[in-house]
Amino acid sequence: MNSEILFITFLSLKISLTAVFIASIMSIFLASIISFKNFYGKKLIVNLIHTFMGLPPVVVGLVLYLILSRNGFLGGLDLLYTPTAMIIAQVILALPIITGISINVIERVEKAIKETIISLGATTLQGYIKIIKEARHGIMIAIVTGFGRTISEVGAIIIVGGNIKFHTRTLTTAIVSETSKGEFKFALTLGVILILISFFVNYALTVFSASEEK
Amino acid sequence: MNFKKGIKFLKLTAVFTLLIFWFSGCVSQKPKEKLILLTTTSTYDSGLLDYLLPDFEKKFKIKVQVISVGTGQALEMGKNGDGDVLLVHSPKDEEKFMKEKHGIKRRWVMYNDFIIVGPKNDPAGIRGDGAKNAFKKISEKQTLFISRGDDSGTHKKELSIWKDISRNDAWYIEAGKGMGDTLMIASEKKGYTLADRGTFVSLKSKLDLEILVEGDKILLNPYGVIAVNPDKNPKINYSAAAKFIDWIMSKEGQTLIANFKKSGEQLFKPLYGKSIRD
pTM of the shown model: 0.82
Q: pLDDT, tens digit, for every residue of B153-210? A: 889 899 999 988 888 888 999 998 888 889 999 999 999 999 988 889 888 888 999 9
Start-end of H helices in chain B = 2-28, 41-45, 48-60, 71-79, 91-99, 131-141, 153-162, 179-189, 197-203, 238-249, 251-259
Q: Is it the case that residue B33 has pLDDT exceeding 60? A: yes
Higher-confidence position of A123 and B259:
B259
Determine the residue among A181, A185, A212 to mutate to test chain B binding: the one whose Cβ has the most chain B Cβ atoms within 10 Å.
A181
Q: Is the pLDDT of residue A32 over 90?
A: yes
- State the average pLDDT for chain A: 90
Per-residue pLDDT band for A123 (boundaries 50, 70, 90) equals: confident
Mean pLDDT, range A84-98, rounded to an integer: 97
CATH of B113-219, one of 1.10.286.10, 2.40.50.140, 3.10.20.30, 3.40.190.10: 3.40.190.10
Write down the pLDDT at residue B29.
Answer: 52
pLDDT at position A213 over 60 = no
Q: What pLDDT, in 10s, does the model give residues A135-189?
A: 988 999 999 999 999 999 999 999 999 999 889 999 999 999 888 777 888 999 9
Q: For A72-86, how does the pLDDT look when each residue is reduced to its tens digit (9 = 90+)?
A: 889 888 899 999 999
Confidence of residue B24 (pLDDT cuts 50, 70, 90): low
Q: Which residue of A has its CA nearest to B49?
A: A165
Does residue B259 register a pLDDT over 60?
Answer: yes
A104 CB contacts (<8 Å, ≥6 apart)? A138
> At residue A114, does pLDDT exceed 80?
yes
Answer with the residue of higher pLDDT: A92 or B23.
A92
Residues 55-114, chain B, touching A (beta carbon < 8 A): 65-68, 77, 80-82
- What distance in Å separates the CA atoms of residue B15 and residue B11, rounded to the nearest whole number? 6
Q: Can you give the pLDDT at residue B274?
A: 83
Is pLDDT of A50 > 50? Answer: yes
Q: Cβ–Cβ of B25/A204 closer than 8 Å? A: no
Distances (CA, A) of A12 to A16, B2, B73: 6, 36, 25
CA distance B246 to chain A (A): 23
Distance from CA of A66 to the nearest CA of B (A): 9
Length of chain A: 214
**pLDDT level of residue A214 (50, 70, 90 thresholds):** very low
Domain ranges in chain B with CATH number 3.40.190.10: 34-112+221-270, 113-219
What is the three-class DSSP state of B98? Answer: helix
Q: Among all residues of chain A, which has the CA nearest to that of B50?
A: A165
In this predicted structure, what is the pLDDT of residue B7? 72
Per mean pLDDT, which of A112-116, B89-93, B120-124, B147-151 is the most reliable? B120-124
Q: Which of A69, A78, A164 sits opposite B65 (nearest CB)?
A: A164
CA distance A114 to chain B (A): 30
Query: What is the Cα–Cα distance from B162 to B156, expressed in whole angstroms?
Result: 10
Task: Say whether pLDDT at A1 is over 80.
Answer: no
Domains defined along chain A, listed by start: 2-39+57-210 (1.10.3720.10)
**Predicted pLDDT at A77:** 87
The CATH number of domain B34-112+221-270 is 3.40.190.10: yes
The minimal CB distance from B82 to the residues A80, A83, A180 is found for A80
State the average pLDDT over residues B84-108.
93
Most B CBs within 10 Å, among A70, A158, A184, to test the B interface: A70
Query: What pLDDT band is residue A27 in, cutting at 50, 70 and 90?
Result: very high
Q: Provide the pLDDT for residue A211.
A: 64
**Residue from the list A72, A162, A211 with its beta carbon closest to the beta carbon of B67:** A162
Q: What's the pLDDT score for residue A124?
A: 83
How confident is the prediction for chain B on average, in pLDDT? Answer: 88
Contact B21 A10 (CB under 8 A): yes
